[in-house]
Structure 1
């Protein structure tokens, strides 16, 4: 005998809201969602606030329209990394490591942190401690700046309501104003740098792995101890990041 399907009304409503975004419209107001799904405005508001708090939705620049949030991209990236993303990362990382012999990392955004989900260690006698599974504030890491560069100034203000930023080292970006200025360069180059901002003696270059919409869903980075940095090696790292990010983006998402 076939078991009856158990339906939870609130869960159905959350899924109905998410499925609205399958269409061509990228954002909806509370009123739009309430009318389209025949839901009372009061309960619609409560559900939307819960989805905002959990990262499944976010507000647009006007503060009146809802659109898909980072959590869904994080889930998709987590799924993808176990298949094509992970395979492509290690293929590219093997090549970069062979050429540069420095640590290569793959990262995703997790709220206001960057989460490292895959790594390829170097064979140098002096190695960097593995970062797999580690998290860092977005603003102190090259990969984190890649994700911040995707956001508007208003969204950055929500993450960092205070002007002063916590200093992890003497090189950490000290204020939100300076961070926003630096992110302008990241947007132009699609490349970000960490110049001893999380650990004094480390340097890092990161680039964006983008989906078909051009949104950074992951970041590829190379980390190197300061003592091994030369102009030639830095240039090779930069070229390698640009080439590898483009390659992974095309192979996984196109």
Structure 2
């Protein structure tokens, strides 16, 4: 085992690790996460810099992944191979919520000609677990598996509204409320008010707080026992619809889709302690 105390490449202080911790596994995962949709091909030097490793260490990990079939190399540039999807496929195949939600998302995107998605809360972030793109492509490039900060998104507001007061207090104490745009709410008191508003209304609309030009509206998805463990939203470019227009256009169809999904969830008996929670 390798228990080195190397600081993460993003500069954050490393959390205390137990004696069980295998740092080489963490570093191997960091190599895979160095790739992105914006930069699907990277050189050895770029990967070493992004992961905080030496070139020699990064090279060993990369060549191991090449041997395992997860990474390809051409002209000294590395890229992920489709085989890497095997690492998450088993988890995805156990999910019930995305499978049930997808037909309703497709229906919404076809009706409204906008994007529709379902997300769950995972720590300080929302994670997209199902998505259907409208005829117009949004700039965010969000796909299944994308993580975004809960405080700045419509998904996040309704999911935070489903927390207990103690859970919300803990979130607000720990969350780093960093401005994503000039409109992002970073005052914990104001954010708490917006979450309370979402809880009272049963929906949340966020206008250009996560990304300039992106407006979205979300409704919570309740499980059979009434608990909130997911959310469904519709997103648009702000130059197509004002917040008021998006609410008028999407809130009723979105609410109907969620109600239909909740009936399906009740029939399956899915619980909030499902792995998505």
Q: Do they superpose with TM above 0.5?
A: yes
Q: Distance in 2 between matches of 1:251 and 1:163?
A: 33
Question: In 2, are the aligned partners of 1:207 and 1:219 still within 8 Å (CA)?
Answer: yes
Mark the runs of 5 or more structure 2 residues left unpaired by the alignment: 1-89, 268-277
Q: SS state of the match for residue 226, structure 2?
A: coil
Tell me what 1:108 maps to. Answer: 120
Tell me what 2:16 maps to. Answer: none
Q: SS state of the match for residue 228, structure 1?
A: coil
Tell me what 2:100 maps to. Answer: 88
Tell me what 1:229 maps to. Answer: 241
Question: In 1, are the aligned partners of 2:217 and 2:246 still within 8 Å (CA)?
Answer: no
The answer to whether residue 271 in structure 2 is matched with residue 248 in structure 1 is no
Distance change >3 Å, CA 81–CA 178, structure 1 → 2: farther
Q: Distance in 2 between matches of 1:163 and 1:83?
A: 27
The answer to whether residue 145 in structure 2 is matched with residue 133 in structure 1 is yes
Q: Distance in 2 between matches of 1:160 and 1:189?
A: 21
Q: Distance in 1 between matches of 2:264 and 2:91?
A: 16
The Cα shift of 1:216 comes to 1.1
Question: In 2, are the aligned partners of 1:128 and 1:225 still within 8 Å (CA)?
Answer: no
Q: Distance in 2 between matches of 1:251 and 1:118?
A: 16
Question: In 2, are the aligned partners of 1:103 and 1:128 still within 8 Å (CA)?
Answer: no
CA deviations over 1:73-98 (Å, ceiling 9, x no partner):
xxxxx979856433331211121111
CA deviations over 1:193-249 (Å, ceiling 9, x no partner):
221111021000111111122111111111100011055553121111111111101
Q: SS state of the match for residue 248, structure 1?
A: helix
Question: In 2, are the aligned partners of 1:164 and 1:176 still within 8 Å (CA)?
Answer: no
Q: SS state of the match for residue 173, structure 2?
A: coil
Distance change >3 Å, CA 98–CA 190, structure 1 → 2: same
Question: In 2, are the aligned partners of 1:164 and 1:175 still within 8 Å (CA)?
Answer: no
Tell me what 1:150 maps to. Answer: 162
Q: SS state of the match for residue 114, structure 1?
A: strand
The Cα shift of 1:126 comes to 6.1
CA RMSD across the alignment: 2.5
Q: Distance in 2 between matches of 1:235 and 1:158?
A: 34
Tell me what 1:198 maps to. Answer: 210
Q: SS state of the match for residue 248, structure 2?
A: helix
Q: SS state of the match for residue 217, structure 1?
A: strand
CA deviations over 1:89-144 (Å, ceiling 9, x no partner):
12111211111111111111111110011110112266652332111111111111
Mark the runs of 5 or more structure 1 residues left unpaired by the alignment: 1-77
What is the TM-score with the length of structure 1 in the denominator? 0.63
Q: Distance in 2 between matches of 1:126 and 1:223?
A: 8
Q: Distance in 1 between matches of 2:95 and 2:171?
A: 31
